Amino acid sequence: MNSSDSIKNEDEASRNDREASSSHLNNDKDFDKKEDEMKRAAAKKLIERYFYQLTDGCGNPHCDNKFCASSGDLKPLTPDEAAAQAIQLFSQDARLCERHPNKIARTQGNTNVENSPHEKDMNSKTPTNDLVLSQTSNEESKSRNLLNTSSGYLYLTEQILYDIIDECEASDSYSKLIRTLGEVFSNIECLACSFLQTESLDSEQKSADSDKEKIKGLNKEEVRSLEGEKDKDEDSCVEPSKNSLPPVDLPAVRRAFAALFKLKTSIFENALVNALVTLAGNLQVQLPTRKDKDNQDDVVNVLVIVFEIPALGSGDFLETGLPAICRASQWLTVGVQAKLANIWSSPFGRMSLRNILENLQQLITLKVIVTQFHRDFYVQDENVITSATKLIKILYYANVLAGVLESNCRPNDVSTPSEDIYSPGKVQRAVPHIDPLVEELGLHLLSCRKPFLPYEEFYNELLSDAVEMDRDFANYKSEVGKFSFMYYPFILTPATKTMGLYFDSRIRMYSERRISFLQAVTGTPSNPYLKLKVRRDNIIDDALVELEMISMENPNDLKKQLVVEFEGEQGIDEGGVSKEFFQLVIEEIFNPDYAMFVIQKETQMVWFNPTSFESDAQFTLIGIVLGLAIYNNVILSVNFPMVLYRKLMGKRGSFEDLLDWNPVLYNSLQQLLSYRGADIEDVFMQTFRISYEDVFGTVISYDLKENGDEIKVTQENKHEFVELYADFLLNKSVEKQFRAFYKGFQMVVDESPLELLFRPEEIELLICGSKNFDFDELEKSTEYDGGYTDETPIIKNFWAIVHSLSVDDKKKLLQFTTGSDRVPIGGLSKLKLVISRNGPDSDRLPTAHTCFNVLLLPEYSSKAKLEDRLLKAIKYSKGFGML
């Protein structure tokens, strides 16, 4: 190696040493910088603690710290003075008080507010004022001049409100209370920072001790530099983190309002109502400009507090304050709606669900009563009604979240909204409208087994009667975003929603009819109706052949208006013949001789026969018949368990469905799940091999897992056993039959808003009708023609006879007069029966126009003769006497 190479190597080594040294130095500087930042953050946190100690105190009434507001020795300080002194106390390492609960029981007479047992646990957190005007920029604070409120309060806590009430009662002057309520409740930032939850006292004190350790190395210059930041923070009063606000302490809010409303409402009602109107105005200005990504905890807190006001559904609150809040709330983003739904579904939030719902329902009812609707101004155009409905939607989903969700069989199981049996390649399923709020919440409505409040409490009957469903359906179909109650079906009664479905089917029928007429003009043979010609003694085979051909050649023909003709019989089908057709088909299909369905002994409900020898086409026919019944507004006499309707809406059967499907089996499996003993194998002696009987009484065994007879059910695998057992009975064993059935059903209703409007139990009501045979309702709604009135003697005798009939005979009367023995949705008052005079006294039997629900009744001379002729007509005239 020559000397030049040696020198070069030495230079490279030297350079490497310098670079390494520089790298270490930079790393040290970065570390020191991060350490300084941590120290400065800890210092600011401690200064905040000193600030609140000077302004709010520690909450200890016996405090002896002269630099604490609770001691009574410290004169009131302005925010600027408190901030400056907080920095000085920090630099002196002055004494810092421990925080004490700031909830002191009121002791003056009737103003005492006691905590309920379930509130005591929540009240371990101190509702002190640890936030001042967070979420607000300095410029916003300056523009609103929030630091100079005349009442001196920038927010409220439970204790502050108690103190103000006590002070006002002592002086017999409520001006301070009125002024404070007006200022806090009219301002978004002030109200958002009121009644907040705080960290626990222990964690807060540990945090303070940790911060003191972090700042030990902070020199005087660095402490002094924090004072230079005073100008930056003076408007926000050394405000805490602006990332988010803590949630509202709901029990504290309720106790505070309870104390407030023990006073005469007239004292503060006007001030509070006016403040809410101003608050709503501020929200209407701000909300449209906000985005989902913006932090909106302030809006969430504001609405949570406002809707806790006890009198929101009465007086001036109902007429002025609540409508203003509702109008502002229509601008809420999906994110805010989801946060509200989660809060109102929480253990403490759900306590207010019914009260909030009743207030909003009261507002809607009031607006429906006092508003004059006309052809140019419909219910859908009333802004208060529509905005209140949007708020009720949030409550509706909160009610679902607060209910009993599946599955109690497997506690950690999370059900999914879309099941694979409906995936492409198996059965095509129409995708219903999905509410963005449902997506945001990650919710599947069918996962709720029992809501917190009954679904019926969300119906508003007065509103449902006022809604013009033809107009609402037009809005639903409109592409310009008009409001439609069909997107808020929870508020409409099933009878009103049925009208929406009726308009949808009729428009499709008319559309198909127009297409047929146009095809006829061009010379293409076409039929504007779905015509079926069948024989009474061979109705299933005839219907199967015709419907199968139609479904294969042109499935859209199934959406035409159904017209049925019985071979060899005269009559024009205006609805009555179709009703009889459906009834006869259902009777044949569920005939045990066909063995397509089995009947559960305990419940008399029908279910698919797993070992049926019938082809898939037969089950497809049943699905088509069920769909056609809905499409043509015909009620069927079927008795399916609820799990069928859930499966039709895309949800697989699960353990909970066994309660309705086979309650004896469900209770047995529930005992297995509830058993905690170590001897479960000896007590139940159950393996993963199950046995069941087919329709012929033959016992069939099935292994839920491979070699199931060798796997015993234990404490560890019992949940799996129950889940697999239910899945086999309700899904796997009848998968072939149900898939064919579902395919036929979807052929008819795939484009229908059925799933949008109805829950599974409402679909059962839609198909099977009501079970409430209230003939008093039918009597009140019946109309008369041909000279009869409700005072005519024969009419009085007729109703006396009808009310004395057995339930079976009453069903036969319905069958005779309307073509169906089922009660329509909404009850018999919706039937619109007409009794018409059919001549003077004679020996003729009564007859009926089942298409129009008209009973033709001769004016018999006596009650006995009327009863004899009527009973003969309803018992022996099947296929006859009905026109």
| 153 φ/ψ angles, rounded to the nearest 5 degrees | -115, 125
Distance in angstroms between the alpha carbons of the first and the last residue of the chain = 122
Is cis: bond before 241, omega within 30 of 0?
no
State the Cα–Cα distance between residues 472 and 378, nearest whole angstrom. Answer: 9
Structure token pair of residue 738:
């149900």
> In terms of C-beta density within 10 A (0-12 exposed, 13-18 middle, 19 or more buried), how is residue 815 classed?
buried
> In terms of C-beta density within 10 A (0-12 exposed, 13-18 middle, 19 or more buried), how is residue 798 classed?
buried
State the Cα–Cα distance between residues 71 and 57, nearest whole angstrom. Answer: 8
Contact 881, 847 (CB under 8 A): yes
Q: Of 344, 259, 257, whose CA–CA distance to 308 is shortest?
A: 257
Return the residue matching tokens 């219907």.
543
Instruction: Give 127-145 as a 3 state SS string.
Output: CCCCCCCCCCCHHHHHHHC
State the Cα–Cα distance between residues 759 and 432, nearest whole angstrom. Answer: 13
* Type and span of the H or E element at 848: strand 847-849
User: Residue 829 is which amino acid?
Assistant: S
* Type and span of the H or E element at 105: none
Cα 627 to chain centroid distance, Å, stands at 27
Contact 764, 503 (CB under 8 A): no
Structure token pair of residue 806:
């057995």
Contact 681, 712 (CB under 8 A): yes
Q: Which one is catalytic: 190, 193, 237, 851?
A: 851
**Angle 625-629-635 (CA atoms, 0-180°, nearest 5)?**
125
Return the residue matching tokens 């065994």.
701
Strands (E) in 640-704, as ranges, are: 689-693, 699-703
State the Cα–Cα distance between residues 259 and 257, nearest whole angstrom. Answer: 5
Q: Is residue 199 helix, strand or coil? A: coil
Decide if 851 is catalytic: yes
Q: Which residues pair with 691 in a beta bridge?
A: 701
State the Cα–Cα distance between residues 624 and 633, nearest whole angstrom. Answer: 14
> In terms of C-beta density within 10 A (0-12 exposed, 13-18 middle, 19 or more buried), how is residue 139 classed?
exposed
State the Cα–Cα distance between residues 799 and 790, nearest whole angstrom. Answer: 10
Contact 323, 384 (CB under 8 A): yes
Dihedral sign computed on CA atoms, order 438, 441, 442, 445: negative
Instruction: Give 746-796 as a 3 state SS string.
Output: HHHHCCCCHHHHCCHHHHHHHHHCECCCCHHHHHHHCEEECCCCCCCHHHH
Structure token pair of residue 478:
């409109």
DSSP 555: G
Structure token pair of residue 186:
């009219």
Return the residue matching tokens 């983190």.
241
**Cα Rg, the chain, nearest whole Å:** 37
* Type and span of the H or E element at 531: strand 529-534
State the Cα–Cα distance between residues 372 and 88, nearest whole angstrom. Answer: 67
| 880 φ/ψ angles, rounded to the nearest 5 degrees | -130, 160
Q: Is residue 834 helix, strand or coil? A: strand
Q: Is residue 724 helix, strand or coil? A: helix
Q: Which residues are catalytic?
A: 851
